């Protein structure tokens, strides 16, 4: 699907088969910053405004069996549930989004294209942390 980058106006193919946006490494790099979030560590912060319903990220994923990663692995904290019995590692900024019981985004799975999308649940302003619901956090939650 062709979209327009909200940062520069360039069109890009958000399936990541043929990205055309000139931002290096990631089509929306100019729209987000990775910052230290008090009590949470590293997190993703918006540099631009997003309206409720906007697809703000679309990350390709690598799928694996849910039993391939155990608690001793540094990857244990990063998978998203994909299908019953399988998880994915997103290859983009969505992996760095922190948990919130009242998140400002939700994720959508596009199984065939192996894309994980983050969709704004409400308007997001520059400086807002991008959050998702981990569903079953394995840690003490800091809001």
Is 1 contained in some domain?
Answer: no
From 12-21, 99-108, 125-134, the region with the lowest mean pLDDT: 12-21
In angstroms, rounded to a whole number, what is the distance separating the alpha carbons of residues 65 and 49? 36
**Residue the block writes with tokens 């992996």:** 95
Cα–Cα–Cα angle for 116, 118, 120, rounded to 5 degrees:
165
Question: What does the block give as tokens for 125?
Answer: 């302003």
The answer to whether 96 and 43 have CB atoms below 8 angstroms apart is yes
Answer whether residue 27 is part of any domain: no
**What are 41's two structure tokens?**
């560590």
Identify the domain containing residue 105 by its residue range: 32-132
- Does residue 20 lie in a domain region? no
Residue 21: inside a domain:
no
Average pLDDT over residues 66-71: 67
For residue 118, what is the domain's CATH number? 2.170.270.10
* Cβ(95)–Cβ(118) below 8 Å: no
pLDDT in tens, 107-138: 898 888 888 899 999 999 999 999 998 875 44
Nearest to 31 by CA among 11, 65, 6, 67: 6
The answer to whether 43 and 85 are in contact (CB under 8 A) is no
* 53 occurs within a structural domain: yes
Q: Worst-scoring range by mean pLDDT, 8-17, 30-39, 62-71, 75-84?
A: 8-17
- Domain assignment of residue 17, yes or no: no
Output the pTM of the full model: 0.72
Q: 90 or 73, which is more confident? A: 90
Dist. CA 99–CA 107, nearest whole Å: 12
- Report yes or no: 133 and 105 within 8 Å, Cβ to Cβ: no
Tokens representing 96 are: 């760095």
Q: Would you say residue 36 lies in a domain?
A: yes
Residue 7 forms part of a structural domain: no
Q: How many domains does the chain have?
A: 1
pLDDT of residue 24: 47
């Amino acid at each position: 699907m062709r979209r327009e980058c909200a940062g520069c106006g360039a069109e890009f193919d958000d399936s990541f088969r043929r990205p055309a946006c000139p931002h290096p490494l990631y089509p929306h790099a100019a729209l987000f910053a990775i910052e230290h979030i008090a009590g949470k560590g590293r997190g993703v912060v918006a540099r631009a405004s997003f309206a409720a319903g906007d697809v703000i990220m679309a990350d390709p994923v690598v799928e694996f069996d849910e039993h391939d990663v155990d608690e001793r692995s540094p990857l244990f904290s990063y998978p998203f549930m994909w299908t019953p019995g399988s998880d994915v590692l997103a290859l983009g900024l969505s992996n760095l989004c922190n948990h919130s019981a009242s998140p400002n985004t939700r994720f959508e799975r596009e199984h065939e294209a192996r894309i994980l999308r983050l969709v704004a649940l409400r308007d997001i302003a520059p400086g807002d942390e991008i959050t998702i619901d981990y569903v079953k956090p394995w840690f003490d939650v800091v809001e």
